[in-house]
Structure 1
Amino acid sequence: MHLKRKVPSLVDLCVRTAIDNVRYLGDVGETDLDLLEHILPHCTVDQLMHIENSTVGRDLSPVTDKLWKKFYEKQFGTENANLVMKRMKQNNASFKWVKLYEAKLKDVEEAQNKSLDRIRQLYKKEDARRQSRQVQLCSKVPPNNKRSYWGNGPGYNVSNVKSNLMKKAKIEFLKSQEVRNMAAVKKNAIQRHPCVSPFKSPSGIPSKGSASTSKQVKPSERRF
């Protein structure tokens, strides 16, 4: 025997559609509270807060107050929720849970900001301590007495650098294979063709004695 499936009413279809699209709800001021009892429990914190702020001219606390109490317990703990109820009972006061939720959330954010500020101050102090320590270490380094040949300072000596470079270049040139070959060729040429250079005076002019020896001496003639 097949059971007949109950056909949903138009109201049930509207409720299901509203639940499926609860993220798009805003002002529900014209909606019956009985319908809101089925729709609003499916909202998140942000969605329920959006509906509370969007609804104008109507108090939704008969439906949303118990929902906000659940959010309070879930967010801040059951002990804090019980402490709030105890204080309200002692002071003979009553507040909506949405207001209590907002106040507690603000307190938590302020406490977090203060904690972050303290952490930032600790980091600043630590950075200042490290910088002062680095300055102290740098001040204890002994001065360098070595002269620099490549900087613009009191030890900079251009002449020494130039002379050292010239000496090094000259030594490398004399040790080169080309110079050695030229010296060997010159030595062989001197050994094969020896020649006697005429004697020169210190002034570079050949002396008279050497010139007279190259000429024949004529006999002196007697005159009678």
Structure 2
Amino acid sequence: MLRTKRKAPSLVDLCVNLAVENVKYLGDVGETDLHLLDRILPHCTLDQLMHIEKSTVGRDLSSVTDKLWKTFYEKQFGERSTNLVIERMRQKKVSFRWLQLYEAKLKEIAEAENKLAARIRQLYKKEDDRSGPGYNLSNGKSNLMKKAKMDFLKSREVQNIAAMKKNALPGSSRSSSMMKPPSSFPGKSSASSNMKSLERRF
């Protein structure tokens, strides 16, 4: 009985497989052909892809990574948010990279959380001022304070932030690192100006 010989993998396939197995060690991929990156980078986690984007200097990877960032955006913030961004870009006849949109969304959530924390501190400060220095909030909050806090927690602003965080933090062990706003990319000075334009539009 004749045995069918298995076709030996090509040298390119071996290199791609090796890169995929060690994708967590990849950094600057500026010299790598795009058709190879198209096979390798889809195996990256969000953090790994961000590291590669930040490490690669003097080359735009968006032709390969843009669709990957769109996938991460949808996983993090939901299909509804993704479709809303697409519709806004269509209406305004503009186009942004999904990495930029992802960064802008992280900044939006961080700013909303900061505003929320400031308003909560303001509520407690007002109650402290009204009740006097000897008043102990832990032992007995006034009915006014309780009502103000409940009204605040039921407000649309708080509910919107909670909804964004629910989509952005799916409960994985990596969620904290995934939600950190990424630093600026070396060699990509246009990113900051594009981000300002993006924030004004979205």
User: Which TM class, normalised by the smaller chain length?
Assistant: 0.5 to 0.7
Aligned mates of 1:88, 1:73 — CA distance in 2? 16
Cα deviation for residue 39 of structure 1 reads 0.7
Summarize deviations over 1:153-198 as a string: whole Å, max 9, x none: xxxxxxxxxxxxxxxxxxxxxxxxxxxxxxxxxxxxxxxxxxxxxx
Q: 8 Å contact 2:128–2:135 — kept in the other structure? A: no
User: Where in structure 1 are there 5+ consecutive unaligned residues?
Assistant: 136-224
Relative contact order: is structure 1 or structure 2 higher (C-alpha 8 Å, sep ≥ 6)? Answer: 2
Q: For residues 78-116 of structure 1, give each alpha carbon's deviation from its aligned partner in whole angstroms, at most 9, with x where no partner exists.
A: 111111111111111111111111111111111112112
1:121 aligns with 2:122: yes
Q: Residue 45 of structure 1 corresponds to which residue in structure 2?
A: 46
Say whether residues 1:83 and 2:84 are aligned partners. yes
Report which of the two structures shows the higher radius of gyration computed on alpha carbons: 1
Q: Secondary structure at the match of 2:74?
A: helix
Identity within the alignment, %? 68
Which ranges in structure 2 are unaligned for 5 or more consecutive residues? 137-202
Give the TM-score of the pair, scaled to structure 1.
0.55
Corresponding residue SS for 2:4 = coil
TM normalised by structure 2 equals: 0.60
Paired position in structure 1 for 2:171: none
| CA distance in 1 between partners of 2:109 and 2:16 (Å) | 36
What's the CA shift string for 1:59-83, capped at 9, x where partnerless?
1111001001111111111111111
In the other structure, the counterpart of 2:179 is none
* Partner Cα distance (1:19, 1:131) in 2: 63
| Count of residues in Structure 1 that have an aligned counterpart in Structure 2 | 135
**Cα RMSD, aligned residues only:** 2.1
Measured against aligned partners, the alpha-carbon deviations of 1:39-66 in whole angstroms (never above 9, x if no partner) come to: 1011111111111111111111110010
Q: Secondary structure at the match of 1:6?
A: coil
CA distance in 2: counterparts of 1:59 and 1:134, whole angstroms: 59
Q: Which residue of 2 aligns with 1:3?
A: 4
